[in-house]
Structure 1
Amino acid sequence: MDDIEGMFAGTPYLVAEDDASVARFSIVQDRSERSREKSVAVQERIATEGQELFEPYVRAIRSRLVAESNKIEGYEWTHSQVNEVALTYKELLEAPIGSLMQAVRQDSRVYEALGLYKAHEIADEWARTADRPYEYEIRSLHELITYGESYAGRYKQVENKIGGTNLRTSAPWDVTLHMRELCDWWQGCEVNPALEATVLHAWLTHIHPFEDGNGRMARLLANMSLARNGFPPLLVRSQVDRGQYYDALARSDDGDILPLYDLFVQILNRTVRLMSRPDYVREIIKDRLLSTVRDRYTLWRPLPDQFFRALSASLKSCGWSVLLQGNPDLGSFSLLAERDPEGNSWYGKVVDGNRVPKWLLWYGFNSETLKDLLGANTSYPSIFISVRDHDPQAIHPYRPLRIGEGGVEEIVLRPLEGKTVLLRSGYDVKEVDITTAASIVAHALVE
């Protein structure tokens, strides 16, 4: 335990001292190291696939990072749109920063993409020098991201609050001190790079030093930290990861860094799995990655929304509700079809009439029990149910059901079937329509 305490010296974070937490931290550390080893090998292979592909490949990856980071903050961009804007303004992106700012300052919509794109470009250059940025350099990146705003590159002047939480961030008069503490730690830290990126991200968002742009800055700096050490991009996907990401960030605000660390390593492993595919680079450039499963995904994708609406209506009649956490994107959908747990993600949190979380619905691949009953995979993800864990030493806020705790254990949404939903309870499987399925699940959870 002393070694773990040493890793967090000088930070606001810790890992609980119970055996389960220490064991879980060790598991995440090992997964992180394996992810790094695989990433280095994969990226070495990618580098040999031809220099003519390198520039469009980097642009495609950077466009995805920018689009997802913007979408998390409510700016609606697709990676194709970011890629197109980056191509349109390619010469400006290669010019001095001042020229870029002046040229697009009248078009705030374009700057949403280009400012963050250029910041990622600069961060990648800094990562290659192996130097960590100082406090004033972090402010310069923020100025680039938020150029044209009165607060660009400046620490906040008034207290801010993160929507939907009771978190009190650093007071304006404490920000300079707290940012200096963070940067001093970063300059000298020698922990696992994935843990370094996690602490950096959590700490900056907890300080919340800027009036706006804190989330984008945190993800940018985390990616810089990872890029320095051979890791793949940390692509936090707005559609897939948002709910679990915010939940883990809330845990980090209470000092528990393990859930966020676990999530970041899961995201990195997911990216490495996709990068390991033989035609990954060309498919990314052509924007047709995983096209073999795209048709199935397109058919399936409306069903989670339909089921969510039906479940919301059924729970509402009981005084409860469900909060959407996310849905798999094409990449995660493909991983689940291959029975790869790196595609797992949260679907919805069920809360009672007092808004207290009770249950978690989450995506995974089909259980062995369902496979045995059906004789094969369904080719579509399963939705599982976990119960809120009230143990203060629990590593995760939800745990799997024990026998007798819930009537429904597994849900599968199937397009083009007369009865769209499969419900499994133990070894009993029934086929029902979406409305009936939602009613059964809602009443099982409430009761």
Structure 2
Amino acid sequence: MTSSVKPDRSGQRTVALSDEGFPLYGLLALSGAIFISMATEFLPGGLIPQIAADFDRSAGDAGHLITIFALTVILTAAPVAILTRRVPRKALILIAFALIGMGNIATVLSPSFEFLLAARVVGALAHGAFWSVVAAYPAHLVRPTQLAKATALTAAGGSVAGVVGIPLGNAVGQAFGWRVSFGVLAALVVLTGLLMAWKLPPIAVPRSIKHSSKGPPAARRDATLPAILIVCLLFILVVGAQNSFGTFNVVWLLDVAHVAPAAVPIMLFIGGVASAVGVALTGVLYNKFPIRLFLVSIAVLAGLLGSLPVVAGSEPAVWLLSALLGAVFGGVPIMLQTRMMISASPRMRNAAAALQTTAINIGIGGGAFMGGVVLDRISLDALPFWAAICMLVALAAAGVWEIYNERRRNNGPRKEKVVNHGVYG
């Protein structure tokens, strides 16, 4: 299926779908922008020791750079999505992406830790606007049967951020200083922004929103809202569990597993490659085994996190488990993102994308915050155990909902709608 651009009745250029191919170049451009956005959000996690030393702060304080970023997105993503609902989607992506670049420049120039926090807030505001559009964009470009493939392709940008961006940023930070890492990201924003302006197909603002004076459609009247909210809950639990340990992963590797500092970028690179493999496999397997693939992945993540402290004294085992964590977790957000866009009705997709962005950042910020609490009040050694327990909570929540959903499918009077709008399909 290819994307051709046509004017609608108002003169707005829109994407028209045909059956011949797949909008590969547009999705690749979007994937590149996601790479920058994800690297901007998570790069401080790989540079916590350097940032903390530069400003004479603790590792827990430096971890707040991720927390404050996520908190800003939580508070602003939905309001910004409402305020910008009539802005053409492609234009909004380009504006938000430019502001992400400005936030990175401000980060490079930060004279104090407080200024650095303010720069992160600017980047987070743009990040929330960016993701409130990006999360739904592939659903407007491809048919439902291609959504898992399209989502995996755009999400590959996040995987590349893990494979190249964050490990390379860590290495550059060690060699030249953490500010240089953010400077490189700022330069990449310019190149990627030009590529998006050239190759990303535009889509129209939904007519129900464009011609409404009362705001977005009433979500309470939409039958898909319960499934949307459940997916949001699972995002919070899974991402929160992962980030409660992942935010301080480098600190744990250095101080508990005693991995040499020079080996950390290599380990992060291997984990990123494994994550990319997980994304690719998810794109292939998800449509065949949506329920089992998700539940098994969460169970395996809990087991791997709980095993890390046990093998901390064996560096080869730590390397292996870290790679497996990357591979398994890499596909989990793809499953949830795909389910969100399949579950949401067309008129709810943009609202679902904003709620999804909020939920992800609640998980990121809440996970980083709770990880910092465990680090400061219990011990660094306990972090993987805490993350494993949180992951089991996510597994229990997913299992309970699936049991409930199965009973509705079997016994409910509206069987067809339950099948279409269930969390896993």
Larger radius of gyration between Structure 1 and Structure 2: 1
TM-score, normalising length from structure 2? 0.31
Higher RCO (CA-CA < 8 Å; seq separation 6+): 2
Larger proportion of strand: 1
Larger proportion of helix: 2
